[in-house]
Structure 1
């Protein structure tokens, strides 16, 4: 096995002790959002969007948004804590592990958390009858791409700061606006032109579009390829920046 697998194993062993704390929220949050937004708000929407009911239209956006928020949750306080409070990264760096192994193993664990949370959401959406294509499982791949596109640069940011006050700033001025204006709850096209361009710069909007194509059975076409390439570019750039930040702090 590659050394990064051992880092992943470390995080999985820790998660084995704490998974019960997140299991309930992973089940309750999809139920509340689908009932509250999909059925509650949807009952006030006279017509659907793009030929789909509001519930069916919003579900893929909620799945992608949940995946991204799950990844950001793992890439903020846990990363900062492993540097500042628990010193886990420094202990791993003292072992025969490269910076790429430490970073890659933790990002792999973040992907695991994203797949499990998005998978639960997908199952609940199926129970609500909101999936209309056999391509719906591809939503998990779209969620992983979108999540990794934000997790890597977020980990880089968390490796740069020394207090969690900066993490609150990130959530308030970056994560929250991205969740609201990336086409999760309403079409990006309904935004003013300037905000529309901002939305398309954010990676979540591309993950939402890919997820929506999968659950509604729409052919993504060349736009789908562009979404994938754009998210991969975010992943690559985020990895490069995060690797530099981790290396600066771990390699003396």
Structure 2
């Protein structure tokens, strides 16, 4: 991505969201760029990620733990565990809906944060927080609803680009955690991408051995970005980072 096409800003150091003893910095595409919606897909293909209205890439001094990753949709075959997840959730249905605020969505989002991220700084969201974090005016976002009959059990927030789908965030009913709704949401997004004939599902950043981020290695064949190039994932090829 050339600097004469779009401006990049570097954030000040801030607390790392993954390691309590580290600081982090990001490169952020100019959020006021008038062509942000047009270049977003290209940014995804270069390892960037969207959060709210910001498109960013980790740029931390001395740490390369966050590795962009994506799934090759056409080559995906579910593992035995993933097939069990599909069978366990065979009573559920999915529907693609506009990204918007509703009381139903917000209630589920609030319960998810209270159950899964208590005391993490996000567990008392406001309606403004909901919209500011999950979607924005320019983003090509849809909500993949996961329902049991009329009951909303989960939402997979998904961006749609020519380069593929991007799995932005998933929230679900914490009382239904035994279903594996996070895994089910990714499997549903893979099927969505397959039916839409999109080549990739972008999964954000993989962090080797991190308890919340290492699960992405379970979806294969995964590709990771190294030195600006996508290449097949190899388990022994973990990034260097400070211990």
Q: TM-score, normalised by structure 2?
A: 0.23
More helix per residue = 1
Q: TM-score, normalised by structure 1?
A: 0.22
Bigger relative contact order, structure 1 or 2 (CA pairs below 8 A, ≥6 apart):
1
